[in-house]
Structure 1
Amino acid sequence: MLQGRYTTSDGDDHTVDHRMSQSYEEPKYVTPDGLAQVPRQRLSQQPAEEARALLGTGHDRSGSVHQNRQESMLRFQHGRFTSHSSFQTEDNATTLNGHNTTNATKRGSAQLGDRFFRRGKKKIGVLASLKGIALHSWLNPFVVFIPISWVAHFYNASRHHEGGSFGIPYPLIFLFSLLAVMPLQKFFDYGGEQMSFYVGKDLGDLIVVTLNNAVEATLAVILLIKCEIKLLQATIIGVILLHLLLVPGTAFIVDGARLLHQDLHPHLTQLNHTLLIMGVLSLLLPGAFFSVIDRSDSPTTHGVDDTTRHTFLMMSRGLAVILLVVYISSRFYLHNPPGDEEMEVPMSLRNEEEYLLQSEPALNQWVCIGMLIVALGLMATTAVWLVDSVEVVRLEGNIPEEWFGLILLPFVSFSADGALALGYFVRYVIQALRGKENPPARLARAQAIDLSIQFILFWMPAIVLLGWWMGRPLPLLFDFFEIAILFGSCFLVNYVTQDAKTNWAEGVAMVGFYAMIVLCAWFYRGPKDIVELLKFGVCTHAGGH
């Protein structure tokens, strides 16, 4: 019997007992280049770390470990981890030449269906799922602020309709709405993590990233409806900066304080570099075009007329379509890449997928989907009250509009993560004082970078096309200050992650650059010529700018 330990991404430490099957055969595996088939040593001769990568273990719902009946091998192939009930022999080992990728895709689809419907496994009950939802986070009691924020909003709206004075101060409504959004954000995180048990890590990560962007996307749509175009543009840049610099930088500092370095997935990191640069360059092109066009013949003060507005609007819609094609293509590539190479991945990432394969989820898949739909509806409505109240707070506090969009509005979406980070920090300090520290996680938490990539390549162009459909023009013409800080952030993030390793000092650099942007943005007022170009007729009549 082999005994080993591994650490999941949440820092929990698990002991694993591996028992050999009497029918064990000497396995074959494909090297990372996909060209060689090398026999492994016998299991009894392998270190515990390699055995953990080859043998499947299971976790019951109480967290104890039970023996898996069959050996399973985890491989990262076709953009996802796959599990095989027995090891491959020399006759059926996968090779780069002659492999039927269509059959592999069909097998992957069948495995996904079996996993989603949990065929051959215990079903999770509805009552157990509801109990899991109720107890999953210490932020759950904050749901009482959802009805409180709604009542406060409608009370002020009724007083305004009757011509009376406002009964509840808007800063208080803003606070209620902010506290109401926090548990809803945690529901998205929890629901995405639970869906990973049913769809696997790669699709699960995509669900988590999409749900984590739901608050920011909702705020952007609300600003679009209100025709606050310049504020919307600043918020888009601010959301990307927040997820590029502050969130991963903070995670690198906290998680990497006890390690020399942490690992990133090298394959995903290289693709992220390309996608991030692609998104930033798509914003650089309209700005460069605007700086060189001849506006001397324009009859308006700032050299902007309806013809110029129409030109940039058509250009922006074309760029939006291209960005969507690039992002969707990248998702297909990650899920089902061409060829048959098996990519090398960090052991900590393999352990995480092994944990998803063998552990029991806390929620039924259908209850989880229903929870996400309800949370999305509540969050969308509460976000409307939040934006209404925060606009009054901005005007009463004389906060610069550019700083308001770049820093404050995006930071609202970070409120739940910030509260959780503070709670985990307090818990860690208490555990450290009691001498019960969890071992540090080797896998760096860089999911926020994926949030930025999805927002700039998917949500931003989707909002442009949504504005086209709604009659709310949104050109992708950003001013040079916004483009410069975004380009600098992209350069810093790509430089930090180029070796697929991070440390706490690099996290400090990322947070420091974000602090520089916060300082400079406070004194920035924005160029008048671009503000003038954003004044389309429909939004001018709607009162936006």
Structure 2
Amino acid sequence: MKGKLFYLGLLVSFVISAAAHYLQWNHTVQFVISAIAVVFVAGFLGKATESVAHYAGERMGGFLNATFGNAAELIIAIFLVKDGLFDVVKASLTGSIIGNLLLVLGLSVFAGGLKYKEQSFNVKLASHNSSLMLLGVIALFIPAVFARGLTTKETSSMSMIVAILLVAAYLLWLLFSMVTHKNILSDEAIEHGEPAWSKKTSILFLILATAMVAFTSEWLVGTLEEVTHRFGLSELFVGAFLIAIIGNAAEHSAAVMMAMKNKMGAAVEIAIGSSLQIALFVAPVLVLVSFLMGGTPMNIVFSTYELAAIGVAVFITKSISQDGSTNWYEGLLLMIVYIILGVVFFLV
């Protein structure tokens, strides 16, 4: 019954969102309907990803979960880059990183901790994740510090070089974690249960869900500027919290579900792995895409507020995850930090 209601909600929200866009309804109404549609589509994407993961295996399944779970953020960001809304793009990237580290991981640890007194995961994987998170912070911090003494052209060149290095680092991490050191970094077996669909149907639905995300994301982005001005919201808050929460819907459901099944290793991989992919792959790819689009390219220089938020999120996540065990109180701490950042960003 729940499944039927979900698919009914998916179909209805998508159709109404399309009608609102093409019939040019009120921008605020369009924003709300499109946001609801994105949540449903993200849920559909999560189900399709989980089903494909059953056939692909654990490590590849985790990679697919992170990749397609981030499809909403990536596609939304590409449309924002196309419209030249670079500040919103950077804010949404910031929101995705801190949202995954603080809200998704925090909620997962909290929910799992209420059911199980203590949950554990691979300590070596946690250590490598911490190092990669620090690399992400360094790669964003250094350009921001030195950009003040550079010309626009030099800043663009620096952004291109840093972006290429980060993409290379991420691809080599995939080689390291999935090939050369696969056994050392493996965690407990993830029980996927029975797949929702056959292999071919799962792949077809994964492609369909990604296409639906592309459409709903474009409709949502088209309303952002008007809604932001109408309600007096800053681009930082809209990008870092509203868009990030909507785009992280798939990760929320998947990570919390795994934690509730006492699969904290999987939940941590979904939350932290997703943040790493945003920082080391999605962000630099968007910089490279902006160069290919022509016009004024996007640089990789983030604001002081964004760097502070990412740095704080990485610091507390590293502190909590480095021992390879979690409890409900640690999850609560992560969520409190997220709420503090939300309040500050709203008031900025």
TM-score if structure 2 supplies the norm length?
0.91
1:231 and 2:78 aligned? no
Question: Which residue, out of 412, 429, 432, partners 2:246?
Answer: 412
Q: How does 1:116-135 map to 2 (within 5 A)?
A: none
Please, which runs of 5 or more residues in structure 2 have no aligned partner?
none
Partner in structure 2 of residue 389 of structure 1: 223
Aligned residues: 342
Q: Is the 8 A contact 2:28 2:227 kept in 1?
A: yes
1:136, 1:333 → 2: CA distance?
38
- Assess, with a 3 A threshold, how the Cα gap between structure 1 residues 345 and 322 changes in structure 2: closer, same or farther: closer
Question: Which residue, out of 378, 381, 399, partners 2:233?
Answer: 399
2:161, 2:66 → 1: CA distance?
25
In structure 2, the residue corresponding to 1:476 is in which secondary structure? Answer: coil
1:522 and 2:346 aligned? yes
Q: How does 1:197-276 map to 2 (within 5 A)?
A: 197-276=54-133
**Worse-superposed segment, 145-154 or 412-421:** 412-421
- Assess, with a 3 A threshold, how the Cα gap between structure 1 residues 210 and 440 changes in structure 2: closer, same or farther: closer
Q: Is the 8 A contact 1:192 1:205 kept in 2?
A: no
Partner in structure 2 of residue 140 of structure 1: 7
Tell me the CA shift for residue 259 of structure 1.
2.3
Question: Which residue, out of 264, 283, 289, partners 1:460?
Answer: 283
1:493 and 2:327 aligned? no
2:55, 2:297 → 1: CA distance?
40
Deviations 1:47-80 (A, max 9, x none): xxxxxxxxxxxxxxxxxxxxxxxxxxxxxxxxxx
In structure 2, the residue corresponding to 1:361 is in which secondary structure? Answer: coil
Partner in structure 2 of residue 506 of structure 1: 330
Q: Is the 8 A contact 2:111 2:260 kept in 1?
A: no
In structure 2, the residue corresponding to 1:336 is in which secondary structure? Answer: helix
Partner in structure 1 of residue 160 of structure 2: 317
Q: Is the 8 A contact 1:394 1:404 kept in 2?
A: yes
Q: Which amino acid aligns with 1:407?
A: F
1:440, 1:238 → 2: CA distance?
25
Determine what percentage of the aligned residue pairs are the same residue.
Answer: 25
2:260, 2:328 → 1: CA distance?
13
Partner in structure 2 of residue 149 of structure 1: 17
Q: How does 1:46-125 map to 2 (within 5 A)?
A: none
- Assess, with a 3 A threshold, how the Cα gap between structure 1 residues 231 and 440 changes in structure 2: closer, same or farther: closer
What is the aligned-residue RMSD (CA, Å)?
Answer: 2.4
- Assess, with a 3 A threshold, how the Cα gap between structure 1 residues 362 and 149 changes in structure 2: closer, same or farther: closer
2:186, 2:33 → 1: CA distance?
44
Q: How does 1:177-216 map to 2 (within 5 A)?
A: 177-216=34-73
Question: Which residue, out of 432, 436, 441, partners 2:261?
Answer: 441
Question: Which residue, out of 199, 221, 226, partners 1:365?
Answer: 199
TM-score if structure 1 supplies the norm length?
0.59
Q: Which amino acid aligns with 1:443?
A: K
- Assess, with a 3 A threshold, how the Cα gap between structure 1 residues 325 and 308 changes in structure 2: closer, same or farther: same
Q: Is the 8 A contact 1:316 1:476 kept in 2?
A: yes
Q: Which amino acid aligns with 1:236?
A: L
2:243, 2:115 → 1: CA distance?
33
Q: Is the 8 A contact 2:69 2:248 kept in 1?
A: no
Partner in structure 2 of residue 327 of structure 1: 170
Tell me the CA shift for residue 316 of structure 1.
0.5
Q: Which amino acid aligns with 1:375?
A: A
- Assess, with a 3 A threshold, how the Cα gap between structure 1 residues 330 and 384 changes in structure 2: closer, same or farther: same
In structure 2, the residue corresponding to 1:139 is in which secondary structure? Answer: helix
Tell me the CA shift for residue 506 of structure 1.
0.7
Question: Which residue, out of 267, 287, 305, partners 1:481?
Answer: 305
The structure with more helix, counted as a fraction of residues: 2
Q: Is the 8 A contact 1:184 1:375 kept in 2?
A: yes
Q: Is the 8 A contact 2:144 2:301 kept in 1?
A: yes
In structure 1, the residue corresponding to 2:115 is in which secondary structure? Answer: coil
Please, which runs of 5 or more residues in structure 1 have no aligned partner?
1-133, 157-167, 294-306, 425-438, 525-545
- Assess, with a 3 A threshold, how the Cα gap between structure 1 residues 375 and 407 changes in structure 2: closer, same or farther: same
Q: Which amino acid aligns with 1:275?
A: L
Partner in structure 1 of residue 151 of structure 2: 308
Tell me the CA shift for residue 260 of structure 1.
2.3
Partner in structure 2 of residue 91 of structure 1: none
- Assess, with a 3 A threshold, how the Cα gap between structure 1 residues 345 and 328 changes in structure 2: closer, same or farther: closer
Q: Which amino acid aligns with 2:28?
A: P
- Assess, with a 3 A threshold, how the Cα gap between structure 1 residues 324 and 523 changes in structure 2: closer, same or farther: same
- Assess, with a 3 A threshold, how the Cα gap between structure 1 residues 441 and 375 changes in structure 2: closer, same or farther: closer
Tell me the CA shift for residue 274 of structure 1.
1.1
Q: Which protein has greater RCO, CA pairs closer than 8 Å, 6+ apart? A: 2
In structure 1, the residue corresponding to 2:124 is in which secondary structure? Answer: helix
Q: Is the 8 A contact 2:35 2:246 kept in 1?
A: yes
Q: Larger Rg: 1 or 2?
A: 1
Q: Is the 8 A contact 2:94 2:310 kept in 1?
A: yes
1:344, 1:417 → 2: CA distance?
21
Q: Is the 8 A contact 1:188 1:208 kept in 2?
A: no
Tell me the CA shift for residue 344 of structure 1.
8.2
Q: Is the 8 A contact 1:287 1:477 kept in 2?
A: yes
Q: Is the 8 A contact 2:92 2:243 kept in 1?
A: yes
Q: Which amino acid aligns with 2:13?
A: F
Q: Is the 8 A contact 1:139 1:182 kept in 2?
A: no
2:245, 2:39 → 1: CA distance?
12
Tell me the CA shift for residue 443 of structure 1.
2.5
1:173, 1:153 → 2: CA distance?
7
Tell me the CA shift for residue 362 of structure 1.
3.4
Q: Which amino acid aligns with 1:387?
A: V
- Assess, with a 3 A threshold, how the Cα gap between structure 1 residues 402 and 242 changes in structure 2: closer, same or farther: same
Tell me the CA shift for residue 144 of structure 1.
1.2
- Assess, with a 3 A threshold, how the Cα gap between structure 1 residues 342 and 149 changes in structure 2: closer, same or farther: closer
1:145, 1:248 → 2: CA distance?
28
Q: Which amino acid aligns with 2:325?
A: K
Partner in structure 2 of residue 4 of structure 1: none
